[in-house]
Structure formats: structure tokens, C-alpha cells
Amino acid sequence: MSAPAAELQGHLLTPQGWVRGQLRHAHGRIVAVVGEPVDERTVGPSSLPRLLPGFIDLHVHGGGGHDTMGGGDAALQMARTHARHGTTSLLATTMTAPRDEIEAALRALAPFVTTRPRGAARLLGVHLEGPYINSGKLGAQPDFATTATLQEVLALHTLAPLKLITIAPEIPGHLALIVALRKHGFVVQIGHSAGTYEDGVAALEAGASGFTHLFNAMTGLHQRAPGMAGAALAHAERAEIIPDLLHVHAGAIRAALRCIPGLYCVTDSTAAAGMPDGEYRLGRHTVTKCLGGVRLADGTLAGSTLTMDQALRNLVGLGLTLAEASRRTSTLAAEHLGLADRGRLAPGAWVDVVRLDRDLQLTGVVVEGETIEL
């Protein structure tokens, strides 16, 4: 993949299954996928490359030493780092902070959403993870949680397009706000919540469509108090999960896979992703990368160093087929945002492609028809 080509060849994962053949494209869009259908059992031992839809990450705080809240060209550098790990589109994710800091971050992000720079993943918009969360479930978020209003959300949306908003529904006024946000077209997730099982069910009924980093920073499952985690397992159609095997035990991931049809993977990655051990910024926090994780000074997990290519390998290691792992690192996230032209290798979709060898190591990335230098 040294240069954009009119044709990519190998074993291609299409919505209908695996095809041994060619993907033809022009002007950044897929024109056709041609070839013969093959069973996934024949793909594994083959020396041909595996071509999958590019990864889609809806929860990214940073990468390559740069933090979303940092302003300047932080978003560009972050998007370039993740593109080299197969992420072809992402949501830049904010931290809980005073409003003026959030506004400044959104203004800095906006130009990179409007125009994708060369060598970078597409910034689809913003995941507003804070500040509309519960101060009792901050996780690694700074303590600037506040109550949301529709007027404020719409004002922030004018600065950069908000695609996904995390809310703690038990905060007074937030349940009604979920209804209003859905009417305005925002995707709403439940997260950083001290709410009960009943609060979670009510939020889903109000229009919330998922859970932010399932199991983390929410009330857990107890047999007599199922909590937010129980509401997700019992009722959710979609939720995001961090499969770095630090944030969530492999057994809990397997339980979620059995319960939630639209469980999709995110990295929750920080500036430390793709970087050596050391200290980095996460919003107002200084965090330390060591032993494969990122933590605050008190030991609290503070985002991750995960990249989506490793997330895919982790899922396969848990027993998922490559096709199913691809669906949960790409297609389901696209569907969650209502994107019909990403997350699939099909005519009319963007040419967002990752190429893997038989060991599932990344050997090529194409973003909207542009070959990314690894």
C-alpha cells in the first residue's frame, strides 16, 4: 500500500461475509467488491492479507503525547497517531472541566472536523464525556461536574459538532433533558453515574441509546441492587466497552457480549497511547503510564494506552472470530452514530480499510482512499 490504488486485493470482509478478490475504488469511495465467497476457516491459514473495515473509535482522549483538551494541533497529532494503528475515524472526547476550557477545546477541534488533514483519521465530531456527570462517580475526571441545560449543550454544539453526549441520568433534570437532546438529534449515553437500576431503565426509556465504558464509573451489579451495570446487561441494545483487559475482566467482557447485541469497543485512550512510559496530561490531570496502563497518583485507572488494532487482537484472543471482532471494532460503532457509509466494505462506502497479516498485525491502512504511512 505504498500509494492509493484503484484496487486492493486479498480476503475482504464484506457485510455478506468473506470474499477472496478485489476491492475497487475511486475518489475515496468503494466502487465494487468482486471475487468468490470463502469460509472464514480458509482465511486463517492463508498467506493472503485480510482486508477489514477501518476501525471506528467513539471515545478518544488523546494519543501520541497529545491531549484533546490541549488545543492547538493536538487533535491533528492524535488523529495521526491513531490512524497508524488502523483507526480511520473517531470522536475526539472531552474531559470534565470549567466551561471556558471546554469551549476552548471545542474551538480548537472544529477545523479538524471540517477538513481531514492528510495522514490522519477522520474526526467525526465530539464525544462530550463531561461535565454532565455525577461527582460521586468521577473516575479519572476532574471535579467540575455540573447539571446540563439544553441551552448550554446547543451553545457548545455551535463551536464543534457534538455527536455523542454522556450524561448521569439520576441528576435532577437530566432525564427530561435526554428526551430533548434526542429530539435535537444527539446520541446520548449513560455514564459516570451513581444511579440505580431503575434510573438506568428510565434513561433508556427516555431515549438514551447506550452506556459509556460499561462497568467503569457506574454502580455495579449486585443481586439485590442491579445498578447501572445491571440495567445495561438486562436492557441495553448498545454499549461501549474498553477491551484492554485492565479496565474490564475478560469474564465481564464475555458476559456483556452475551447480553448486549450492539456491544462495541472503544479505547478511551489518552495522550500516553503510542508513547513510552512516563507522565502525560489528561485534561487538568497529570497521569502516569506504566505497566501497560495509565493511572492517577492514587492508582485510579485514568483512560488507557489501548489502540484499536490491539483491541481487535484482544477480542480474537477471547474467542471471537475475526469477522465478529471486526464488527465490534468498526461496524457497530458506525451504526450507533447512524453512519451508513463507514464500518463496512461495500459499494458507496468510504475507502476506510485496514490490512492485516495472518498474525493480525497491521500492514496497511487506507483512510478515505489515502494510504497512511505506518
75-115 pLDDT tens trace = 999 999 999 999 999 999 999 999 999 999 999 999 999 99
**Active-site positions?**
268
Per-residue model confidence (pLDDT) at position 150: 98
Phi, psi of 204 (to 5 degrees): -65, -40
Residue spans in the chain of domains classed CATH 3.20.20.140: 55-341
The rounded distance, in Å, linking the Cα atoms of 253 and 264 is 11
| Class for the domain spanning 55-341 | alpha beta
Helices 227-235 and 197-206, packing angle to 10 deg: 50
Sheet holding 187-190, edge to edge: 55-60, 87-93, 122-128, 162-167, 187-190, 210-211
Residue-wise pLDDT for 268-321, tens only, equals: 999 999 999 999 999 888 989 988 899 998 888 888 999 999 999 999 999 999
Which residue reads 455523542 in cell numbers? Answer: 164
Q: How many CB atoms lie within 10 A of CB 146?
A: 15
Query: pTM above 0.75?
Result: yes
Considering the domain 1-53+343-374, what is its CATH architecture? Answer: Roll (2.30)
**Grid cell at residue 312:** 481487535
Cell of 212: 459509556
Rounded Cα–Cα distance for residues 340 and 338 (Å)? 6
Q: And the C-alpha cell for 148?
A: 446540563
HSE, CB side, 13 Å, CA atoms: give it for residue 168: 26
Start-end of CATH 2.30.40.10 domains in the chain: 1-53+343-374
Confidence of residue 4 (pLDDT cuts 50, 70, 90): very low
For 52-95, give the DSSP string. Answer: EEPEEEEEE-EETTEEGGG-TTHHHHHHHHHHTTTEEEEEEE--
